[in-house]
Structure 1
Amino acid sequence: MDQKRIADTIGCTVRHMRVMTQSDMTCVMWAELEDTDGGEPTAMVPRQVVVKHTADNTALIEGRMLQKLGALSPIRYPGVLYGDDHLLVMDYIDADGQAGPSGAQDLAQQLAAQHDITQPDFGLEFDTLIGGLYQPNPPCANWLEFFRDQRLLFMAQCASDSGKLPARLYHRIEKLCTRLDEFIAPDVKPSLLHGDLWGGNILYHQGKLAGLIDPALYFGDAEIELAFGTLFGDLNNDFFDTYRQYRPLERDFFTTRRDLYNLYPLLVHVRLFGGSYVNAVDHNLAQLGF
């Protein structure tokens, strides 16, 4: 990453930069800044920023998601200082990873408040990304239809086209999709979702929620967010005990809909990685009776 380009983009001299993560498509760096006259950065430009450079146009879409969440959500998301097709400069959020019971409770309270934010339709006014994969969000008044067509069938088709989802599993998903009304109530309301709620995207600092990063934004059933949070064990009993104080959670969420809703992130992982995630899809379908 060219330090001069970053400096020219945000109007500050870059003191130091270091790589945080790097892949074939994306490089994420931490940078420490000073303003151009040698003084301290202003309130508008923080001392520390995160710089993300992408080989595709995902930087632009991520910037739009962060701006949308920053305008609507009570949770802190990185503020966007600059964004174009391939470059995103964001606030750096301090995080020591120390959560404990108080951190889980803080996340539950703030996430419940975000889930209370609604709109008439499911989806969003623009398409987004999850794990770098395209995520369609055409507005839809019915959650069952949206989840069926834009989440389960869409990602199953992507995973099948990539050769990572066996045909036998794809056909079982199709069969499940004909009977979703047995699992999903007709009166689900849209909630503002982070969309990719796993531990790596949850930042804690000194026992409090510091913020969320790397969203896969849309409006959907709040339960799909909660299900995803249990997939790798990131949302625990302390979280759910507190969440229930602010929003209802039906008992059958844990017995049926969690397995149903986790099919979507599992299909995302199948499309990205294949391997053991194929077996996990098989397991969840069997748990649901398919």
Structure 2
Amino acid sequence: MRLQQALGTRVAEARPLAVGFGLTGLEVVLADGRHLAVKAGETDRGGADGLKLEAFMLGELARLSDLPVPRVHYAARDLLVMDFIENDAGGIGRSVERHAGELIARLHATPREHFGYARDTLIGPLHQPNPKATKWVPFFRDHRLLYMACEAHREGRLPSSLLARIERLAERIEEYLIEPPFPSLLHGDLWAGNVLVRNGRVAAFVDPAIYFGSPEIELAFTTMFGTFGEAFFAVYESLMRLEPGFHELRAGLYNLYPSLVHVRLFGSGYLSGIDRTLTRIGL
């Protein structure tokens, strides 16, 4: 009933749709012909803004880029309605990787005014602070690496010994990371489940975690679970130059951030990867 009131027309068909983090999902067809995806649920995702914050992030990607994302039809704290993106549930093959390389390179190519964002956002259901900053490496150190490590430790999920090693890395972080030529808009959560595929092309990117940052942190995350591989990077690097040392060193360091996110969400299985990365650089 509430969905019909929000959209101003009758729901003709509805079937379950898999969504994460304790939310209920529906694929619906309305009497007026619209084919929509629905997320609903009372969670603490995004605090007072809830699902409205996910709608905001999708709207910002649509406003500021040509990245394909679903259009939002209705948003409230506990209800998000957007276009259902037709997809064939196919894997990410080489043609998809090449298309994604073009799209993400274009997303990253436009210079933005500062790092951070006009407001805080989310990664998954977790708070992601975005104070405006003029330098990337201190922003990553303070508002990505140390912030997420301290939150994981506070929740009892990151041992004190690992936190101390991350803090030692933070003291030396400028030895390893480099400043990008300008801030870029990032999708922020590019794993395979957030890439919808149709006929060998990217149909849409969903579930963003946006902010202005270094493209390298975005690219690093695509390697963490094998979202994209050589075909993606060949196209991307033909359009956007990567400085030497990214694949060999910096990608692993940047992936400490999503690893800490996963420690908070899914537990200790991700601690060994953090240990290996720190050990590799002698910490």
Q: TM-score, normalised by structure 1?
A: 0.92
The one of 208, 228, 234 equivalent to 1:235 is 228
CA displacement at 1:61 relative to structure 2? 0.6
1:121 and 1:219 in contact (8 A); partners too: yes
RMSD of Structure 2 on Structure 1 (CA): 1.3
Task: Return 5+ residue gaps in structure 1 as ranges.
Answer: 36-40, 42-46
SS in 1 for 2:18: strand
Which whole-Å deviations, capped at 9, do the CAs of 1:179-233 have from their partners, x for residues lacking one? 1111122454211100011000011110111110000010110010010001001
Residue 242 of structure 2, aligned match among 249, 258, 280: 249
CA distance in 2, matches of 1:289, 1:54: 45
Pick aligned residue for 1:54 from 41, 51, 57: 41
- Which residue matches 1:38? none
Partner of 1:82: 74
| Unaligned stretches of 5+ residues in structure 2 | 44-48
- Indicate which of 97, 113, 117 corresponds to 1:120: 113
Q: Which of 161, 186, 190 is the matching residue for 2:183?
A: 190
Give the equivalent residue in structure 2 for 1:206: 199
Say which of 5, 8, 14 aligns to 1:8.
Answer: 5
Q: Choose the corresponding residue for 2:27, options 25, 30, 34.
A: 30
**22 and 103 in structure 1: CA distance in 2 versus 1, 3 angstrom threshold:** closer
Q: Distance in 2 between matches of 1:284 and 1:243?
A: 25
**In the alignment, is residue 177 of structure 1 matched against residue 170 of structure 2?**
yes
Where 1:12 maps in the other structure, the secondary structure is coil
Letter aligned with residue 32 of structure 1: V
Cα gap change, 1:214 to 1:22, in 2 (>3 Å): closer
Is the CA contact 1:26–1:53 (under 8 Å) kept in the aligned structure 2? yes
2:219 maps to which of 220, 226, 250: 226
Q: 1:188 to 1:203 in 2, by over 3 A?
A: same
1:146 partnered with 2:133:
no
Q: Which residue of 1 aligns with 2:55?
A: 63
Alpha-carbon displacement from aligned partner over 1:123-145 (angstroms, at most 9, x marks no partner): 11011111100001010111011
Distance 2:143 2:251 in 1: 18
Q: Percent identity?
A: 42
Contact 2:50 2:76 in 1 (8 A): no
Aligned to 1:273: 266
